[in-house]
Structures are given as structure tokens and as C-alpha cells.
Amino acid sequence: MELLSNLALGFQTAVSPLNLLYCLAGALIGTLIGVLPGIGPVQTIAILLPTTFALPPVSALIMLSGIYYGAQYGGSTTSILVNVPGEASAVVTCIDGHQMARQGRAGAALSISALGSFVAGTFATFVLAVLAVPLSEFAFRFGPAEYFSLMVFGLIGSVVLASGSLLKAVGMIVLGLLLGMVGTDVTSGAHRFTFGIPELADGIGFVSLAMGLFGICDIIHSLEKRERRDILKSKLTGFWLSGSDIKASAPAVLRGTLCGSLLGILPGGGAILSSFTAYMLEKKSSKNPESFGKGNICGVAAPESANNAAAQTSFVPLLTLGIPPNVVLAMMAGAMMIHGIQPGPRVITSNPELFWGVIVSMWVGNLLLVLLNLPLVGMWVRLLSVPFRLLYPAILLFCCIGLYSVNNNTFDIGLTALCGLLGYVFHKLDCEPAPLILGFILGPMMEENLRRGMLLSRGDPAVFFTRPLSLAFLLMAAVLLLLVALPSIRRSRESAFKEG
């Protein structure tokens, strides 16, 4: 059994005392930041990226995955207790979760969200482990043309399944690709778009860009709104689920898990899409759909399981094909590259202990979250009552010190302020920054593969259409674009994201 020996290798790596500690630390800090309203996994990862740079790559990735799940879990806690979704994927959890909290069943809602996430995480870890080897072997057959087309497909997929204007999202991708070009050209050594600034020769720092667009910009954005919170004041009790709760929610957890595992693998899939889909699926298949929105436990169980399953399976395209399917995974890809690991099919053979260690640590991280967060929930609630005006200067300060620590220079801090300004402009113009990050990560790889593909074909672009796999990817991208352009689908796409 190759799978078992692989998982055993992973266990050895993941449960070494040091890595276990980093996993725990990541999960805790991730929850700590993720609990803050308005701060989701993307912002959390952006803010905490520098904390992992001093670690060896395996530990850093383990800690980052811990941060990711912790942030997601923290987000659900906030949506249940405060009715302010910490992040987009927790929007649907708000609907029934907060109603349950108002009925005095916040404990049950938090428990099912934790247990559902754990079940989903366990299943999705296995999906990831089973799919990883065959998929990465499949990817070894890819030439540059296939890779280029796959990236086009991945980028298109990520905007088609997201909300908002398609044209703008495509524009943001292209802008991201362009920003990815800044720095020294690998092939010729020429400096591109550096304006003679020596610090830009290595390109725009990923941490600066991510922190500016998500961390700093979101703080400014939150400051524009007046604070209004609806915190649950009553004491939290009753974490134990009753027999009828378990009976009602078990099938919902399973359906959510399957739905999330499947959607997580798709480009553009991931936590947000899967939790919306799982919620709607649950509502449609329920015997009494009118009880949704009024504190139905299935309305918490299904999306929470789905988003956790998807969070895990969305590692599949990143670790096997090197394509981040959504912005959170783009952050992980950025972190891997900073550690000198190029995400892609080679990871599994060249760094098996990293690959399997990270996979197993995801499961361990989920277990730790269940064990820790239910007892700690009182602490998170107290954190929620700290006013934002005291929190944000602290977040800003830790961002700045973190940025300085990356390269021990202050240029990165100034660059981040600039990126924050850019992010503010994007926000005001309703331009989502997520596609830009994806483009930024994929830009250099896309150019490299385009160059090599065209070099091999002696300048004939037909190579992208004559190689069957490459053609298939491009056709799929075209079909996706056409689908969105169809009016009927466009309408249902818009309404799907307004369901919350």
C-alpha cells in the first residue's frame, strides 16, 4: 500500500514535536486574527505571512495551513456570535448560525460547525492523498503549451465562478500578470518596470502586495464604516449536541462534505462557492425549507462542512499542477515560492516529506481546532468585545514590523502603503483584488511557458490549438466564458451570490 506508507511518512513529519507546535501555534493565531470581524482567511494569511519566514519550509507551510483553518474557524465563530461574517465564505453560516445563537443555541451551533468541519476535513484529506499521486503523474506529461493553456483555464475559471463584473475581473487578472512582470526578466536579465529602483529588481514583494491589498486596505475600509456590532451577551452553554441534533445534521454534514470536496478541486472553487452551494442544496433537498433562516441546524452543518472540505481539496490543483485555484491558495503558493519551493507536480517527488507532512498536518490541525476551540470559545468572545479602535493600530503595527523582518529593510513598508492605496482605489471602483493576486502569482510562470512553447514551435501560435490537451483546456475556458455571457446563467449567477 503506497498510500499508507506515504501517509506514514506524513505522520512522522507532522507529529514531530516541533511541527506539532507550529501547527498548534498557527491554528491558534489564525483563529485569534480570524475571529476579528471583517478579517477573513486571506487577510489573516497576509498579515501573518512574515511570521513563518524564519522557519524551515515544512514547518512554515504546516503553520500556514494551520493559520488558514484557524482563520476559517474563527470566521464561523464570529458569524455565529456577532452576525458579522468575518469573511465571504462565512456569510451563509450567519443566516442560520446567528438565529440559533439568538435562540440560545450558540453552543450547539459552534459545536456542529467544529464537528462538521472535522468530519469534512478528514474526508477531504483522504481525497487529497488519493488524488495527489495520479494527478501529479498526469501533469508530468504536460509541455509548456499545456501549462500555458491550463493557466488560462485556471484564471478564467477563477473569475467565472466569482461574483461581480466579469470584464473587470479579467482586467484585474491582466493587471496582476503585469505586476508580476516587474523585476528582473529571468531569460534576458533585463530590468522591467523597475524605474531604476534597486529594491524592485527582485520584483514587487508578494508580502507587500498581499498585505497592502488585503490588510491595510481593509483596515481603512473598516474605518470608513461606523462600528455597529450585535454581540451575543448571554453566557454560552450547551455545547453538547442532542441526539435529535446529531440525527438531523449528520446527513447535512455528509452532503456538505461531498459537495465541498468536489467544488474545492475546480479552478475558482474553494470555500466561498462551496458553502453557498451546499447551503442552497440543503435548502432545496430539505423537507421543510421554510425552517431555513430561522435557526435550522442543517443550515450551519452543511456550509461549514463544505467550506472546510473545499479548503482542503483546493490544495489538490496547487500541489499537483502548480495552479492555485483561488486567492487563499495563491497566498500559499506565494509563501512556498518565498521558501524556494515551486508549487507543481515536482513537489511530491522532490520533497515527499514536505508534501505528505503538510497533508497530514491538515488533519492534525483540524483535530487540534476541535479540541482547542470549543474550550477556548469564551476567550474569543471576549476578544470580540475589544473595540476596533484599539485593535487596528495594533494590527497595523504588527504588519509593519512583520514587513521589516522579511528583508530587514524599510522599503517594503513604504511599498505596502502604496499597495494599500491601490487597494483602496480598487475597492472604491468595485474591482475585486483577488484575481489580481492570482495573476501576480501565475504571471512569471505563464510568460515562461508561453516563451518556451513558442520557441519550440518556432513562433507558430497554432501549437496551443493542435496539441489535444492544450486545446481541451482552452476550449473549457471558452465554454466557461460563453456560459457566463448567456443571460439566463448570468442572472442565476448574480442571484446565487445575493442569497445571503
Partner 1 sequence: MCIRHPKDFLTGVMFVGFGAAAMALSFGLAIGSAAKMGPGYFPFLLGAFLAVLGAVILLRSLVSARRVKEWPVLHLKPLGIVLLSVVLFSRALKPLGLVVSTVGLVVLASAASHEFRWKEALLTAAVLAVVVWTVFVYFLEFQIPVWPQLVAGRT
Instruction: Candidates 223, 379, 482, 483: give the one binding partner 1 (CB under 8 A).
Output: 223
Residue 220 neighbours by CB under 8 Å, 6+ apart: 420, 424
If we measure between CA atoms, which residue out of 80, 85, 22, 33 comes closest to residue 56?
22
Among 14, 112, 135, 216, binds partner 1 (CB under 8 A): 216
The DSSP secondary structure of 335-397, one letter per residue, reads HHHHTT---STHHHHH-HHHHHHHHHHHHHHHHHHHHHHHHHHHHHHHHHTS-HHHHHHHHHH
Contact range with partner 1 by CB under 8 A, out of 14-22, 285-293, 340-348, 389-397: 389-397
Does residue number 458 form part of the binding site for partner 1 (CB under 8 A)? yes
Residues 6+ apart with CB under 8 A from 209: 179, 419, 437, 440
- Is residue 478 within the footprint of partner 1 (CB under 8 A)? no
Report the candidate in 94, 75, 124 with the shortest Cα–Cα distance to residue 373: 75
CA–CA separation, 36 and 87 (whole Å): 10
Q: Which of 1, 17, 188, 196 binds partner 1 (CB under 8 A)?
A: 188
| Binding status of residue 56 toward partner 1 by CB under 8 A | no
Q: Which of 5, 103, 410, 466 binds partner 1 (CB under 8 A)?
A: 410
Span interacting with partner 1, options 122-130, 199-207, 295-303, 420-428, rule CB under 8 A: 420-428
Residue pair 306/274 in contact (Cβ under 8 Å)? The answer is: yes
Q: Which is nearest to 274 in space by CA: 332, 328, 319?
A: 328
Residues 361, 379: Cα–Cα separation, whole Å: 25
Contact positions with partner 1 (CB under 8 A) in 158-177: 165, 167-168, 170-171, 174-175, 177
* CB of 195 vs partner 1, minimal distance in Å: 9
**454 binds partner 1, rule: CB under 8 A:** yes
Closest CA to 392 of 91, 94, 47: 47
With contacts defined by CB under 8 A, how many residues of the chain interact with partner 1? 62
Beta bridge partners of 75: none
Nearer to partner 1 among residue 22 and residue 276 (C-beta) = 22
The minimum distance between CB 456 and partner 1, in angstroms, equals 9
Shortest Å, Cβ 54 to partner 1: 8
- Report yes or no: 112 and 300 within 8 Å, Cβ to Cβ: yes
Q: Which is nearer to partner 1, 137 or 227 (CB)?
A: 227
Query: CA-to-CA distance for 11 and 467, rounded, in angstroms?
Result: 40
Kindly indicate which of the ranges 150-158, 185-193, 239-247, 268-276 contains the residues binding partner 1, using the contact rule CB under 8 A. Answer: 185-193
Span near partner 1 by CB under 8 A; candidates 99-107, 328-336, 393-401, 483-491 = 393-401
* Mutual angle of helices 106-139 and 57-82, in 10-degree steps: 140
Task: Verify binding: residue 387, partner 1, rule CB under 8 A.
Answer: yes
From the list 2-10, 230-238, 382-390, 464-472, the region that binds partner 1 by CB under 8 A is: 382-390
Question: Is residue 461 a contact residue for partner 1 (CB under 8 A)?
Answer: yes
Specify the stretch interacting with partner 1 by CB under 8 A; choose among 23-31, 101-109, 357-365, 412-420: 412-420
H or E element that contains 184: strand 183-184
CB of 118 to partner 1, least distance (A): 32
Radius of gyration of the chain (CA): 22
Q: Are the beta carbons of 46 and 68 closer than 8 angstroms?
A: no
Among 181, 250, 262, 481, binds partner 1 (CB under 8 A): 181
DSSP state of 37: T
User: Does 339 sit near partner 1 (CB under 8 A)?
Assistant: no
* Closer CB to partner 1, 221 or 346, in the complex: 221
DSSP SS3 for 191:
strand
Interface with partner 1 by CB under 8 A: which residues?
165, 167-168, 170-171, 174-175, 177-178, 181, 185, 187-188, 190, 192-193, 216, 219-220, 223-224, 226-227, 387-390, 392-394, 396-397, 400-401, 404-405, 408, 410-411, 413-414, 416-417, 420-421, 424-425, 428-431, 446-447, 450-451, 454-455, 457-461
